[in-house]
Amino acid sequence: MRSMRLGVFVQVPGHHVGGWRHPDATVDGWPNLALMQHIAATAEQAKFDMFFLGDGFATGYSEHPSTIGKFEPLTLLSALAMGTSRLGLAATGSTTYAEPYHVARGFASLDHLSGGRAAWNVVTTAYDKSAAVFGRQHPPHAERYAMAEEFVEACRMLWDSWDDSAFSPDKAAGRFVRPGSLHVPDFRGKYFTVTGALNVPRSPQGHPVLIQAGSSGPGQALAARIADVVFTAQNDLAEAQAFYDAVKAQLVGYGRTADAARIMPGVMPVVGRTEAEALEIFDELNRSIDTAQAFTVLSERLGSDMSVHPLDEPVPDLPETENLKSRAALLLKMARRDKLTLRQLYYRVAAARGHLLLIGTPLMIADTLEAWFRAGAADGFNVMPPFFPGQFDDFAKGVVPLLQERGLFRADYAGTTLREHLGLARPAGRRAA
């Protein structure tokens, strides 16, 4: 029987632009390690597959509160690995503003430290403002994806630098590693060259789990070639089913099985004891929106400065963006489908940024998640609470038990690694040329 997968997408103090202002949101002692430890402990107690961290490089007064000040992801996950034993630990890493060796080394180390629970969310970095801190020119969309494919291939070769059994020290023989167990990568691409081995033994999962979060044409193609998990924004059941079917077909087209990757749309649940209470929580969040921050988020997603357009008129036609192509297309399609004014779209993006927004009781939310799962629109969900810790605690204690009672979600972990949680095979080592 299929089992639902669940991740918690951690953007603290909350995904909703106004979430940090809610009385139950924790904002003291920023950035707050104790809060992160609480979220990880709650997720592990609820048997979640993974703790998922987004990332970005820009900061400033008008940025989303979750991005203004934050921990570096691998550093944080290494700390959380010490207080958890089963929870998968996923971090975003850029293929545009990094080098394969550094990324491969960091995630292999995290996989060892956590006993096989590391995952890399492969992103190309959408926004050109990120280029400033690196002193580079931001590449166009298509080139970023070409770079990403090379980058991942180089990392895979680095992870296979050593055989699984290479490090078996023999004091009597004076041998620290087994002869013939080192396979030095020789990768020469258009964007990256790697002609040396990784100085980290092959990790417990072989390769960390690879997550891909782009839903554009190039993003889907990259996911079909490399991803173990596909994180996507979908807010309509029929469109989510079409996306699911398209990616699964592409997996087969690239010689993989349709079950080789898990598709996990994002979902923002606003949980209340009654539907009226949930609606009041959402209204309170919207009343707390900072206009500058909301317009920053909206303009980034659409690739144009939206503050210059009238708020109470239909969303204008916009040129194609070089940033988040799939997200801009999704939001514009939603605006046309639901006949939204710019103000109405502004509120939706300030909340869930185009992801599925569910407002209601635990029973109502569980019913919708089950419907999407059974309809073949998702293999699971990346949960995006509007604020932490209260709304995530309510989801974990209210919605998850209902999914477990219905036999949709695990009652306990069956394995120790993230690949085992997700039902994914461990990749065999490849002898690098």
Residue type at 212 in one-letter notation: Q
Average predicted confidence (pLDDT) for the chain:
92
Does the CA dihedral 339-343-346-347 come out positive or negative? negative
Per-residue confidence (pLDDT) for residue 178, from 0 to 100: 94
Mean pLDDT of 374-381: 98
The DSSP-derived string for 331-366 is: HHHHHHHTT-BHHHHHHHHHHHTTSEEEEE-HHHHH
The closest alpha carbon to 58, from 297, 309, 393, 223, belongs to: 297
Per-residue confidence (pLDDT) for residue 432, from 0 to 100: 40
How far, in Å, are 47, 94, 351 from residue 416 at the CA level? 12, 27, 34
Beta strands 187-188 and 193-194, pairing class: antiparallel
Of all residues in the chain, the percent with pLDDT exceeding 70 is 97
Please identify which residue in the block is written with the tokens 């539907």: 275
Give the model confidence (pLDDT) of 124-153 as tens digits: 987 787 888 888 889 988 899 999 999 999
**pTM attached to this predicted model:** 0.92
CA distance 231 to 429: 26
Please identify which residue in the block is written with the tokens 């939603």: 334
Alpha helices in 353-399 (DSSP H): 362-374, 390-394
Q: Ramachandran region of residue 255, left (φ > 0), alpha (ψ -120 to 50) or beta?
A: left
CA distance 181 to 162: 6
Give the model confidence (pLDDT) of 250-263 as tens digits: 999 999 999 999 99
Query: Domains in the chain, ordered, with CATH?
Result: 5-275+354-422 (3.20.20.30)
Per-residue confidence (pLDDT) for residue 296, from 0 to 100: 75
- Contact predicate 132/171, CB 8 Å: no
CA distance 300 to 321: 10
Residue type at 248 in one-letter notation: K
CA distance 305 to 209: 36
CA distance 325 to 218: 10
